[in-house]
Amino acid sequence: MGKLIDKYNRRVDYLRISVTDRCNLRCVYCLPGCGIDNKSHDDLLTFEEIVRIAGIAAQMGINKVRLTGGEPLVRKNLAVLVKMVAEIEGIDEISMTTNGILLKDYAHQLKRAGLKRVNVSLDTLRGDRFKDVTRFGELRDAMEGIEAALDAGLHPVKINVLLLAGVNDDEITDFLRLTIDRPLHVRFLEFMPITGNEFWSEKRFLSCKEAMDICNRFGRVESANVSGNGPARNFRIENASGTFGFIAALTDKFCSACNRLRLTSDGHLKGCLHSDLKVNLRDPLRNGADEGILKHLIRLVVDTKPREHSLTGDFVEASEYLMSQIGG
């Protein structure tokens, strides 16, 4: 297998694949209340097209794949895709990000197909607040999904918590308690101003440093290591079974170590979540492009991968894609 090295000497070995722009929730920070015009079925990459792109990327040096959405589990027969990707030579690990609502029905099936680990997006542990944030979701479903992931042997099971001042900042210690007796790995994420995000406000921004101050008051904290490809700085409450960590996209840029590419559900490859730069792989693929052309297009994305994202505390019109369309 080859190696993909960008012009800033970063090794690119991780591909995040959005399998759908649809979601079964409508979180206030992700989607407008009226919803969005979803891509048509014909616009989306087929499983076979996804596998062809992933297979060529694997030849070039990609060895880790994450499936995202929207909500990936609303795509029918997702375990079939997992199995297809798992059979690609050179792909060592397949993971998934989900809101967990459907996970209780599919965790064991996905594990058997080849899924290694899962991240569950969960911003509150209070039922009424969960409905407010997701607009109509049930907390019970997400918690049952987490239990199913643990039972299926997906490891590690990570919980992604978006820090929202005035919304869930009073629950940071509640999330820490989840890590004491269970092998759960909580990660606190800073709120990023994304295209179409009407919920964004500086008043809702809570930095990871502020959250860490709260964690330090909870108990004795030590550094920890957690397997995965993310940029989190990880810690553990002394003697806890799980860990907690921070992804500080705004206050502590981690772009110098970025190793990922992103494939949108409609077949565009991006080198950065917050960049307009993208290359259409779907149309050349459907028009009969050979392997050499597709490798050239993937290489072009790597070569134009920016040094760092351009987000600040102000709203940034970074892309025509909404978060649900890129895959977070």
Peptide bond into 70 cis (omega under 30): yes
* CATH code of the domain made up of 14-326: 3.20.20.70
220: its two tokens: 């004795």
Show Cβ contacts of residue 123 under 8 Å, excluding neighbours closer than 6 positions: 27, 130, 133, 161, 162, 164, 167, 168
Give the mean pLDDT of 46-57.
98
Predicted local confidence at residue 313, as pLDDT: 47
322 pLDDT tier (thresholds 50, 70, 90):
low
109: its two tokens: 């099936």
- 94 in Cβ contact with 65 (< 8 Å): yes
Residue 77 pLDDT greater than 90, yes or no: yes
CA–CA separation, 189 vs 84, rounded Å?
31
Predicted local confidence at residue 138, as pLDDT: 97
pTM (2 d.p.): 0.93
> What DSSP character marks residue 222?
E
- DSSP secondary structure string, 1-38? ----B-TTS-B--EEEEE--S--S---TTTS-TT---P
Residue 251 pLDDT greater than 90, yes or no: no
pLDDT per position as a tens digit, 12-25 = 999 999 999 999 99
Q: Number of H helices and number of E strands within the chain?
A: 10, 12
Predicted local confidence at residue 231, as pLDDT: 84
CA–CA separation, 296 vs 293, rounded Å?
5
CA–CA separation, 97 vs 140, rounded Å?
18
Residue ranges of the domains in the chain?
A: 14-326
192 pLDDT tier (thresholds 50, 70, 90):
confident
Predicted local confidence at residue 327, as pLDDT: 56
Residue 252 pLDDT greater than 50, yes or no: yes
- Percent pLDDT > 70 in the chain is 92
Predicted local confidence at residue 129, as pLDDT: 97
Predicted local confidence at residue 315, as pLDDT: 41
54: its two tokens: 């992933």
CA–CA separation, 160 vs 142, rounded Å?
12
59 pLDDT tier (thresholds 50, 70, 90):
very high
Supply the angle between the helices 291-303 and 47-60 in degrees, to the nearest 10: 70
Look over the chain and give the mean of its residue pLDDT values, rounded to a whole number.
91
Predicted local confidence at residue 72, as pLDDT: 98
Show Cβ contacts of residue 240 under 8 Å, excluding neighbours closer than 6 positions: 179, 180, 181
Residue 229 pLDDT greater than 90, yes or no: no
Predicted local confidence at residue 194, as pLDDT: 64
Which backbone phi and psi does 177 adopt, to 5 degrees? -65, -30
Residue 208 pLDDT greater than 80, yes or no: yes
Predicted local confidence at residue 310, as pLDDT: 64
Give the mean pLDDT of 97-114.
98
Give the mean pLDDT of 63-91.
98
Q: Within a 13 Å sphere around the CA of 164, how many CA atoms are in the beta-carbon half?
A: 20
Partners of 68 in the β-ladder: 18
